[in-house]
Amino acid sequence: IDLHWMGMVAGIIFLACSMIDNRVTVGRPRVFALSHLFIVLMIALTAVSQFVIIPRMDVLRITAGEISMLPVSNPMRAEFDSLHAWSTRIEMTVLLLGLIVLYLVALRFSNSRA
């Protein structure tokens, strides 16, 4: 199973559990809580990477062969490098959002236990 699929499934499970926890502790699921919106954004960005960027990169790999052997001026190499840069930006954004969600959840639990 692919890492992106694991992330999307884990994100959906975490989102559901967080809304259930809110329903039990607060009395409502707080669907539009900041942490929930960030989780949805993380899932969406991961889906873009999985279903848009990676398939395009795979087609270029099949078409061009070894990408690193192509000259930098080659249009296929330039497109691959651009897609790779977008993939990296998306993954870094997902990581940053995950750290923010972790902080928000930890803050919520520390406040509820105090």
What single string gives the DSSP state of each residue in 15-44? HHHHHHHHHHHTSS--TT-HHHHHHHHHHH
Residue of 53, 40, 34 lying closest to 7 (CA atoms): 40
Token pair for 2: 């692919």
Tens of pLDDT, residue by residue over 22-70, are 999 889 999 999 999 999 999 999 999 999 999 999 999 999 989 999 9
Tens of pLDDT, residue by residue over 83-102, are 999 999 999 999 999 999 99
Question: Residue 108: what pLDDT?
Answer: 87
Whole-model pTM: value is 0.90
